[in-house]
Structure 1
Amino acid sequence: METITNFSTRLIHRYLPSAFILALLLTAIVFVLGIFVAGQSPVQMVDYWGTGFPDLFKFAMEVSLVLLTGYVLAMAPLVQRMLSWLAGHASTPKQALAITIITSFVCYYLNWGFGMVVGAIIAREIGRRVAVHFPLIVAAAYGGELVRGPSSSIPLIIATPGHFMEESIGIVPMSQTLYAPWNLLLTGMLLLALLVFFLIQRQPEPIERLEDAGTGPEPHRATPADAPVDRIELSRWPTLLLGLFILTYLGQQFIRNGFSVNINIVILSFMALGLLLHHDAASYTEAVKKAIGATHGIVVQFPLYAGIAGMMTGSGLVTLLSNAIISVATPQSFPLLTFLSAGLVNLFIPSGGGQWAIQGPVMMKAAYALGADPAQTIMAFTWGDGWTNQIQPFWALPLLGVAGLTARDIMGYLLVWLAISGVLIAGTFVLLSMMG
């Protein structure tokens, strides 16, 4: 395993382009496939790209705010002390990796946005205190991103009355998908495999450590010499009142809707806690300035992937691929092929809900025609959508922004983890088909 991982790491360092260049290469690949496979003209492909380009503007802003508000919260003095306490329980590299993996995996399971920020923050904090190879611990923090939990968009969509496919597939409860016994067992197996894989890694020499001190801005206390407007800026009350205002709104939402967490709830929760835990508005805004640089990859690259999705959808490439899979599928092999095809399309359309809207109706129609298990097909699609996130920098950008690394630094480890997790997930669907 060490030999394989070392080879993968060297391969990635030598040949993987930056996340931005990779997005441009994927754009070129889809453009060419649209012309020569889907039979579209270059002008049409350009038009599809331009039409799709703005589709992720809202989502890019949401993800940027998740990252920014989470980063600012982590810089609050109380959170810094809490993270120091947690990191203090790790005195060896293996303990550091285990704490990082379990913490990030659980947070990713609860909510992908929560896990995305917490995983990066805990990796940073432990990376500052323990002599562990920093790219290794950041890769370990990201490895749990593939887990599918209560915030997974696809099972949530098809379990919600009134969803866009209700007439054809009805309502599929989450007890048959996310909370099916076999799926919970698979989730536990993946956590165990993730722990084993990273704990057996030998650290390279020399160890690449995190140099950033990671401390938040020092608060400036108001003095009588300050102007009245400065004293307001340095007062505790403006941020305290706004934080309580947001928490009141969140409390009302939980009373009305139960403990239902979406990306907007995550943003508001991080924002409220950040406002309450920073000393004043000056401290909070200074933390925002430091955090905002971490969002640059999201702002630039998410629209590029929206353009790629526009070309994939407009040209019909997604439907062509889905039909090619269906043409060779049997009732037993269909969930496995669904998993693999969803993973492939995810490289070009890295958005679960968006991919399901395009590819889902075709796959579910085929599942019913073949007599394949609908719930297993849905979960196969869901796992495929998350599986190839391990080698898709789109979802790693927020974590890399907090960590201050590039995709090339961690993808060598994740490429091997992709293979291991793929065998576990694919093997599960093979066993399910054999059982019945």
Structure 2
Amino acid sequence: MSTTNEGLLARAALRSAAWSEKWFPDAWVFAALGVVIVALSVLGTGGTPVATVNAFGDGFWSLIPFTMQMAFVVIGGYVLATAPVVARLIDALARVPRSGRGAVVYVGLVSMLASLLSWGFSLVFGGLLVRALARRNDLRMDYRAAGAAAYLGLGAVWAMGLSSSAAQLQANPKSMPPGLLDITGVLPFTQTIFLWQSIVLTAALTAVSLLICWFTAPSDANARVAQDFGVSEAPLPALPPRTRPGEWLEYSPLLAVLIGALGLGWLGYQFATRPAITVVADLNAYNFLFLTLGLLLHWRPRSFLDAVARAVPSTAGVLIQFPLYGGIAALLTKATGADGQTLAHHLSGLFVRVASTDSFPAVMGAYSAVLGFFVPSGGGKWLVEAPYVMQAANDLHVHLGWAVQVYNAAEALPNLINPFWMLPLLGVLGLKARDVVGYTFMQLVVHVPLVLGLLWLLGMTLTYVPPVMP
């Protein structure tokens, strides 16, 4: 493979991809190393072996509900997308790009825009769009770069939009723990994701991410397509004919219609009684919606069940790795050292001690990003960090809504190389983390100084407002 005719960033991306394919470990190894590093750090702060092993064991199964939710993100997304009508829609969208490099940028744009509404939808839809583009014989698209672009919603802007768990929590006093409510008061969206500073930051991240996609995507001569990774894009198998009388309910739409009617009735009630975006951002409701629509659009239970069977192998990475992340989170937040403080508390204290009112956004952004490498959010990380982060913001007279956005912007950064969130997408694509990390790392190199710099500069345009209690 010759890189002579590639641009500077494309050559750097190809070298990064080659390195990661050779040296980046399997995602499970990455998680296991995280466990070892955090456990040793706990022991290093004076934590006892008993406290360390108990925290790991107690936390190991703590993410099981979330693990199943993420597995159903893959299953529900695949089932819905392989329904004939939705598959035709994705194929229609896949006809838009005219070049391999343009296709990579197109995937990145779709992924990021979708993630502002729902990160789960972005994850699955982006992956299925890449699969559809890979089926085009007239388009030589680098499958690795396109997969990395499909991940940009989770790696760049998702937490800056309506699916931000932190912004949703701070705007809803009934969902907030009393201790946090006393510190922050209620922060409506106008003080967080709808700040003009937040919109500017989101727009800048989107534009820069797309430019990186364009300049790092390899030319046709150096592109590696889906077939190079053993990913088959053969048409989905046709529904086999019924072979015995006992199968008639499997091939009749009766059960699909009845179960679908119950599901749509529940969803209708949810949308009628709750804000629509709150319903969509709820993972349980989101998965319920996808499964219900998938069942109805497949029409026959046999077709629906066949689609589920094809989707299940893609969930293997999620099922075996997420328990390790549960153990890491518990080690950070539950195991105490000789002084009675957790490792997370020591990390926060380290950054808060060197922060001032002006530097708080950049310093706390760096802290949140570092912690995010070991505790991927899943919605719960803000509950761990918020009490001491927001108290520090109060003490330093930093705009509280901007402090939430500092967290939102920074927590996406580690996603670019942490396989935790990649797993559902990788399952859809049939790739390993090492196949796409070379390209997401190029995004990380640019995003870190851009995000921290903009957090600092834009934060200087805001003034402190005391907490507003409900």
TM-score computed with the length of structure 1 as normaliser: 0.95
Match of 1:208 in 2: 224
* 2:189 aligned to which of 174, 180, 187: 174
Is the CA contact 2:372–2:411 (under 8 Å) kept in the aligned structure 1? yes
User: Are 2:235 and 1:235 aligned?
Assistant: no
Match of 1:254 in 2: 271
Match of 2:356 in 1: 330
The one-letter amino acid paired with 2:72 is L
User: Are 2:107 and 1:100 aligned?
Assistant: yes
Shift in Å at residue 352 of structure 1?
4.8
Q: Distance in 1 between matches of 2:122 and 2:235?
A: 21
Is the CA contact 2:192–2:405 (under 8 Å) kept in the aligned structure 1? yes
User: Are 2:194 and 1:194 aligned?
Assistant: no
Correspondence list, 1:86-235, <5 A: 86-129=93-136, 130-145=139-154, 146-147=156-157, 148=159, 149-162=161-174, 163-164=176-177, 165-203=180-218, 205-211=221-227, 212-213=232-233, 215-222=235-242, 226-235=243-252
Correspondence list, 1:38-49, <5 A: 38-49=45-56
Is the CA contact 2:34–2:374 (under 8 Å) kept in the aligned structure 1? yes
User: Are 2:286 and 1:266 aligned?
Assistant: yes
Structure 2: gaps of 5 or more residues: 1-8, 336-341, 463-470
Match of 2:58 in 1: 51
The one-letter amino acid paired with 2:171 is A
Shift in Å at residue 132 of structure 1?
0.5
Match of 2:301 in 1: 281
Match of 1:299 in 2: 319
Q: Distance in 2 between matches of 1:213 and 1:127?
A: 7
> How many residues matched?
432
Q: Distance in 2 between matches of 1:123 and 1:397?
A: 15
DSSP 3-state at the match of 2:380: helix
* 2:39 aligned to which of 6, 31, 37: 31
Match of 1:378 in 2: 404
User: For 1:285-305, what per-residue CA distance to the aligned partner results, in whole angstroms no more than 9, with x for missing partners?
Assistant: 111111000000110111110
Is the CA contact 2:151–2:422 (under 8 Å) kept in the aligned structure 1? yes
| Segment drifting more, 165-174 vs 352-361 | 352-361
Shift in Å at residue 10 of structure 1?
2.9
DSSP 3-state at the match of 2:266: helix
Q: Which of structure 1's runs of 4+ aligned residues deviate more than 4 A?
A: none
Match of 2:89 in 1: 82
DSSP 3-state at the match of 1:137: helix
Is the CA contact 2:171–2:187 (under 8 Å) kept in the aligned structure 1? yes
Match of 1:290 in 2: 310
Is the CA contact 2:119–2:153 (under 8 Å) kept in the aligned structure 1? no
Is the CA contact 1:103–1:119 (under 8 Å) kept in the aligned structure 2? yes
Match of 1:12 in 2: 20
Q: Distance in 1 between matches of 2:302 and 2:378?
A: 38
User: For 1:182-218, what per-residue CA distance to the aligned partner results, in whole angstroms no more than 9, with x for missing partners?
Assistant: 1112111211112111112242645321231253331
TM-score computed with the length of structure 2 as normaliser: 0.89
Q: Distance in 2 between matches of 1:60 and 1:202?
A: 33
Is the CA contact 1:125–1:214 (under 8 Å) kept in the aligned structure 2? no
User: For 1:107-165, what per-residue CA distance to the aligned partner results, in whole angstroms no more than 9, with x for missing partners?
Assistant: 11111111111011111111221310101100011022131211110111111113111
DSSP 3-state at the match of 1:150: coil
* 1:403 aligned to which of 416, 425, 429: 429
Shift in Å at residue 106 of structure 1?
1.5
Q: Distance in 2 between matches of 1:435 and 1:178?
A: 16
Q: Distance in 2 between matches of 1:16 and 1:95?
A: 27
Q: Distance in 2 between matches of 1:141 and 1:50?
A: 34
Q: Distance in 2 between matches of 1:63 and 1:197?
A: 28
Match of 1:369 in 2: 395
Q: Distance in 2 between matches of 1:258 and 1:69?
A: 22
Distance 1:175 1:190, change over 3 A: same
DSSP 3-state at the match of 2:173: coil
Structure 1: gaps of 5 or more residues: none
